[in-house]
Chain A
Amino acid sequence: AAGVIQSPRHLIKEKRETATLKCYPIPRHDTVYWYQQGPGQDPQFLISFYEKMQSDKGSIPDRFSAQQFSDYHSELNMSSLELGDSALYFCASSMTGAGNTIYFGEGSWLTVV
């Protein structure tokens, strides 16, 4: 079965640079979520989109932005990167009415040096 696809899997950036992460949800899933997981921490919710509109916002820094496109893929844009942004970034998707089950991608490792 198709899963949530994230790219790139690994990314190394320098401070103050910009990074973009991409996410392709499971086909027919209408909601996309972004989470950030620091070393040894549980995933923290950043932002979500339902039918291409932002539906909820969590602890996403102002330096970050995200959007969902017409083909339902989503991108997380991170600017003015800081060392503390180094983390695993997960995209997840779900389908309305399917028991609120959320499926995660394998994550994108961002290292800021």
Chain B
Amino acid sequence: TQLLEQSPQFLSIQEGENLTVYCNSSSVFSSLQWYRQEPGEGPVLLVTVVTGGEVKKLKRLTFQFGDARKDSSLHITAAQPGDTGLYLCAGSHGSSNTGKLIFGQGTTLQVKP
């Protein structure tokens, strides 16, 4: 059973299009993190959200944490080929010293020129 459902799992779009990736759970998380991972490399942190309803922006990326802290979304505006990669959401239930991450299945994004 996947505790953190991420969708879509695969997305192929044209350069300039917008997209949204969703991360949903029935559990409440103390924090949620979004990572981007290249093949054979470690996940690179994009953002951490901790407050229900929180919205954070990172250039063309907008991250939102649901009011109930059970879900999150990543919206990319005007996608570029350089955005291609695997995007992972990961939630933490506890404080950082026991805050193991539960990962979603990941979204593989391909942005075509």
Contacts and interface: CB of A to CB of B under 8 A. Distances in A.
**Chain A interface size range:** 20 to 34
Interface residues of B, number: 27
B11 interface: no
A31 B96 CA distance: 8
B50 A99 contact: yes
Question: Chain B: interface secondary structure?
Answer: loop
Contact of A56 (B35, B42, B98, B104): B98
B42 A100 contact: no
Contact of A107 (B42, B45, B48, B104): B42
A97 B103 CA distance: 21
With most chain B CB atoms within 10 A of its CB, the pick from A88, A99, A107 is A99
Interface string B101-113: 1111110000000
Interface string B23-51: 00000001101010000111111001010
Interface of A: 4, 6, 30-31, 33, 35, 42-45, 48, 50-51, 55-56, 58, 88, 90, 92, 94-107, 109
Given A104-B35, A107-B41, A107-B42, 13 more contacts: A31-B96, A42-B104, A45-B100, A90-B42, A99-B31, A99-B48, A100-B96, A102-B90, A102-B92, A102-B99, A103-B45, A107-B40, A109-B40
